[in-house]
Amino acid sequence: MKKTAPREAIKELSMLKQKEMIASNYEKLTSAPQTGARVVSTYVPGNLNELIMCFDMLNNLPEINAIQNGMRKKSGGMILEAEKRGHSEDVCTYVKSDIGYMAKGAIAPNGKPLPSPDLLLLSYTGCFTFMKWFELLRDEYGCETVMLQVPYEGDGKVSKNMRDYVVKQLKQEVIPALERVSGVKFDIDRLRENLARSAKAEDDFVWIMQSAKNTPSPIDAYFGGVYYIGPIFTAFRGTEDAIDYYKLLRGEIEQRIALGKGPITPEGDLGEEKYRLVVEGPPNWTSFRDFWKMFYDEGAVVVASTYTKVGGVYDYDGFRHDPSRPLESLAEYCLGCYTNRNLPERVKMIETYMDEYNADGFLTNSIKSCNSFSAGQLLMMREIEKRTGKPAAFVESDLVDPRYFSASNIKNRLESYFQMIDQKRRAGGSTRAA
């Protein structure tokens, strides 16, 4: 039987805008050897983009490269290459994809090789793997490395001592390293300007994510959300491009609300919204579109997700980058990232989303090779069930390893889960109509 090719994904102006931004950034990165620009490699959680920009340096994020290669169906071969070099099957597949990517020449989506970084900047925000990953990158590139140690929120709150400790490191270690590598003197007024632009974009970003409180939700806050977080979590926060992107996206969503429309899927408008979910854990990138289709074919919309908080939590507790307190603001941003919060705080956040977004259920996508997210997920799931009375479910996949995505298994589990939600409604366990 001949397989039908998937329809070309629907593209709005905001999607095209983001695509242009990403392409421009890769062009700048791959042109760095010719332009003389210096490159920083860093991670999404605790990403200090506003500070990096103060030194005219370019931001290259290994996670984003792994995601790009996963969505382009290239990560599988890169992971195998890393395993041939002795890396275990249990190692984070972002890491193995990146190691294999380097071995194969680190070719960017524009077909040109990415340059070696001039500085490795590690903001440690709850994921131990980041430290080992940077050790491997340091061995490969031999460049300078600086680590910003961010205390874990073990007690569920940020103390003055924790904030002061991060600020001290910014002043004594991170900024001097950026000055030394870039040759540019730090200008705190320039940082303030970048932070002001961040806060402006963050206001629109929060409005966008909270628009899912509407019924029907005009967005999918997980599958669509991974596109929405792109500029605010990566190399564009603090830029006019980010402000323009979120202004454009907000306008599109306002129009969808006015028309009573649900989210756009790769195959067009969603139709009837049947299920509203909160989702924990990263998505699978190698089969991203197939994974998403399992939801929108059933009329299931994700109204809130924890993955869209890994690069900063703006909607839950109102954090904004603050130009009047530049270094303190950067410290508070790093301290508040989702993976740096303890399990009780994560459960509390999820419970709030379940209530405020009128969700029908809670779903966990457990990632085989991601200990940072997977630890404690079953406990969190049971606690959410107990607190909300809403059904929860558990599926498993991986980040960018195609060997760990079983479409039939996940589809069967999801279908059973939606039936469970329907049964709960019929039994009177939900406030939503069937």
Task: Please report the DSSP string for 314-374 in residue order.
Answer: -TTT-----TTSHHHHHHHHHHHSGGGB-HHHHHHHHHHHHHHTT-SEEEEEEETT-HHHH
Question: What is the per-residue pLDDT for 373?
Answer: 78
- Domain segments of the chain: what residues? 14-189, 192-426
Residue position matching structure tokens 């200990």: 371
Cis (ω within 30 of 0) for the bond into 216? yes
How many whole angstroms from its chain centre is CA 182?
A: 28
Q: 397: which strand partners? A: 367
Instruction: Take residue 375 and report the two structure tokens written for it.
Output: 């630890």
DSSP 84-147: HTT--TTS-HHHHHHHHHHHTT-B-TTSSBPPPPSEEEEEESS-THHHHHHHHHHHHH--EEEE
Question: What is the per-residue pLDDT for 131?
Answer: 85
Closest listed residue to residue 403, CA positions, set 104, 97, 65, 2: 97
Instruction: Calculate mean pLDDT across residues 217-237.
Output: 97
**193-218 per-position pLDDT tens digit:** 999 999 999 999 999 999 999 999 99
Q: 362: which strand partners? A: 278, 392
Element (H, E) at 17: helix 13-30
Domain 192-426 maps to which CATH number in 3.40.50.11900, 3.40.50.620, 3.20.20.70, 1.10.220.110?
3.40.50.11900
Q: How confident is the model at residue 434 (pLDDT cuts 50, 70, 90)?
A: very low
Q: Rounded to whole angstroms, how far apart are CA atoms 360 and 418?
A: 10
Q: 396: which strand partners? A: 366
- The CA radius of gyration of the chain, in Å to the nearest whole number, is 21
Task: Work out the burial of residue 413: count CB atoms within 10 Å of its CB; fewer than 13 is exposed, 13-18 middle, 19 or more buried.
Answer: middle
Instruction: Take residue 170 and report the two structure tokens written for it.
Output: 């910014």
Question: What is the per-residue pLDDT for 126?
Answer: 74
Instruction: Take residue 150 and report the two structure tokens written for it.
Output: 């961010």
| Burial profile 343-366: b = 16 or more Cβ within 10 angstroms, e = fewer | eebbbbbbbebbeebbbbbbbbbb
pLDDT at residue 17 tops 70: yes
Q: Rounded to whole angstroms, how far apart are CA atoms 242 and 274?
A: 33
Question: What is the per-residue pLDDT for 7?
Answer: 58
Q: Rounded to whole angstroms, how far apart are CA atoms 368 and 96?
A: 14
- Residue 152 Cα distances to 43, 144, 281, 378, angstroms: 17, 25, 19, 21
**104-155 per-position pLDDT tens digit:** 999 999 999 999 999 999 987 878 788 889 889 898 899 999 999 999 998 9
pLDDT at residue 407 tops 60: yes
Mean pLDDT, the chain, whole residue set: 93
pLDDT at residue 183 tops 80: yes
Q: How confident is the model at residue 359 (pLDDT cuts 50, 70, 90)?
A: very high
pLDDT at residue 433 tops 80: no
